[in-house]
Copies of this chain bind each other. A is one copy, B any other.
Amino acid sequence: MVASSESKGLQDPFGDPVYKAAVIDVLGAVAYGEVSAVERLTDDAKMAPSLEDKTALLAMAAAQQAKIQPVLDRLGELGVDAYAAMEPLREGFDAFHTHTRPSDWWESLVKAYVGDGLANDFYREIAGYLDEETRKLVVTTLEDSGRADFVVDRVRAGIEADHLIGGRLALWGRRLMGEAITQTQQIAATREGLSGLIIDDHLPGLDLGTIGEMLTRITQRHVERMGKLGLEH
């Protein structure tokens, strides 16, 4: 959090158009990420083996949905059309979902848990470098509603019943992580706001070195998450 307090400084950070464009991109990504997560979770719920499992996944989808509106409102306050802000981020998220379409219920569960976890870690890291209001909003959208416990229970029970599932899902987790990194890099490379933020030193403390450390931390948390599911990374 040292970086964030430095970046706040004395003047309004939104006076810097590069900073403002980057925040709009981050919020657009958070919002569209939630929209696409709601769609995928609800789709995946169709594969649920029981009504109880289906209802639990729909509840996870609704928890994501509830986080969309505050982000749209904030984009409005920043004077931009929230839907226009989401638009350029669609391709990356849609590609992620197209490339990681679960083939069964187990893959859906792991994707719901691992995908959500990765996204949350990533936004939390980025938020540390942003102004206080944006940071608070982003961190609030990431609060875990605790529903993910059901995924952990289900996956662990599934592996216990059939050890082959564990090997397959460990590979699946690696694929989700690889695809997430690929798409994040694609988005960062195509969005001038985001890459400009780093290259031109608009945020003190955020450079290629700290981004490397950030990725290390995100990977470490991914490994911990896989372990919680009973899966080797």
Residues of chain A touching chain B, judged by Cβ–Cβ distance below 8 Å, are 32, 35, 38-39, 42-43, 45-46, 50-52, 54-55, 58-59, 61-62, 65-66, 68-69, 72, 83, 86-87, 90
* Closest CB in chain B relative to A101 CB, distance in Å: 14
* Closest CB in chain B relative to A32 CB, distance in Å: 8
- Which residue of B is nearest A32, CB measured? B51
Given the known interface contacts A59-B69, A65-B62, A69-B59, the answer about A83 and B38 at a Cβ–Cβ threshold of 8 Å is: no
- Chain A, interface SS category: helix
Beta-carbon contact of B45 and A72 below 8 Å: no
Given the known interface contacts A59-B69, A66-B62, the answer about A83 and B52 at a Cβ–Cβ threshold of 8 Å is: yes
Distance of A65 Cα from B55 Cα, bound (Å): 9
| In the complex, chain B residues whose CB is within 8 Å of the CB of A52 | 83
Distance of A51 Cα from B31 Cα, bound (Å): 11
Lowest 7 A-B CB distances belong to which pairs? A62-B65, A42-B42, A51-B83, A62-B62, A52-B83, A38-B58, A51-B86
| In the complex, chain B residues whose CB is within 8 Å of the CB of A86 | 51
Can you list 22 A-B contacts with CB-CB less than 8 angstroms, sorted by A residue number?
A35-B51, A35-B54, A35-B55, A35-B58, A38-B58, A39-B42, A39-B58, A42-B43, A43-B43, A50-B83, A51-B83, A51-B90, A52-B83, A55-B68, A55-B72, A58-B65, A58-B68, A59-B65, A59-B68, A59-B69, A62-B62, A62-B66
